[in-house]
Structure 1
């Protein structure tokens, strides 16, 4: 961009797909059952910030793709007994910050505890069993 004869730099938003293995992503899109598909995706992509648009693309065939992440038989319920917490920037911001992450309201992250302290935090927040 030119500004009074000077070139200014533009900060582009981060690429939402940068850390996603696209070959595996395409395979996952063929798995039946949106909640199961989301649970597998997040199990394989822990501690990666995942934007809502990526989830919508993964769950392309679901009427309400974001419902597949929530409790009530969604991915959260499938993951919690395995020790994986599915966290959202909207609902779990303070908890995510204790792990060193600052997500927007459009982002999600799966986290398995790496030590007893993290496990205690996730259990206290009722995110894992």
Structure 2
């Protein structure tokens, strides 16, 4: 399902001027909408993978992490987004966009929780669903009339679904890199993680999961090496194991022409995908590019 980009508010909306300026600033800081989309969707994957931390915790999906860790995902996303945009933290809220204080609210549930200090101020709304691998990024001014206030002690509010008409969507139902562990049978999972050291685990991963993009952060986690790219290459890496089997590991950043030729896309610059060559022309081409033996 393709995502919808840029669903702005009507120019007559009371929040149009405020949100238009913020949207323009953050998309521009992200290098334009295509670069912004690729980086933000990769950012969700990175945040989840780092909190799940599969190789060191033997957990593989969001459903397996502790409740306290789920609250940290929002902080992790906030830190990664600020770093990506190269924008400073605000004095009160999470981000300063051209001097405007903006909150960053992340959820993996249905609704965003808005704290008291954010009421009346603009916020970047971020949502990701690990089962569908779809995400949303929007902007809203957290006006009291848009919120359903809770009776809890912290007096947090929720943006009522009926008030979503006041959100300026930058990304809506946008696919982001999947967590392949979500759909992988336990027997396959075990075979990968018990394959041995980093290069053997990566070889098992790319031999068993072919034609499906796998994020850089997942490769890094499974490789468990400072230089995880070394664990993919020749001379000591997974390539030594997979090359003779005519299985190539292609990188979205360097091998776009091959990925298109083999119909493996879309694969972002932060993802890898494996391909088992059977056709003689494919084998010749991949051998010439030093991807297989």
Same fold (TM over 0.5): yes
Deviation at 1:108, TM superposition (A): 0.7
Gaps of 5+ in 1: none
| 1:21 counterpart residue number | 184
Residues 12-42 of structure 1 deviation map (CA, whole Å, 9 limit, x = unaligned) = 3324214751623355224321111101110
2:226 aligned with 1:63, yes or no?
Answer: yes
Query: How far apart are the structure 1 equivalents of 2:271 and 2:236?
Result: 20
Higher-RCO chain (CA-CA 8 Å, sequence separation at least 6): 1
Q: Report the CA distance shift for 1:26/1:58 in structure 2 as closer, same or farther (over 3 A).
A: farther
SS in 1 for 2:174: coil
Partner of 2:208: 44
Residue in 1 aligned with 2:174? 12
> Quick check: which one's strand share is greater?
2
Deviation of the 1:125 alpha carbon = 1.8
- 1:91 corresponds to which residue? 254
Q: 1:10 is paired with a residue of what secondary structure?
A: strand
Pick one of 110, 115, 124 that aligns with 2:274: 110
Question: What's the C-alpha RMSD, in Å, of the aligned pairs?
Answer: 2.7
Query: Which of these residues, 215, 218, 231, is aligned with residue 54 of structure 1?
Result: 218
How many residue pairs align between the two structures? 128
Q: Gaps spanning 5+ residues in structure 2: where?
A: 1-6, 14-162
Q: Tell me which structure has the larger Cα radius of gyration.
A: 2
Work out whether residues 51 and 107 of structure 1, in 8 Å CA contact, stay in contact via their aligned partners in 2.
yes
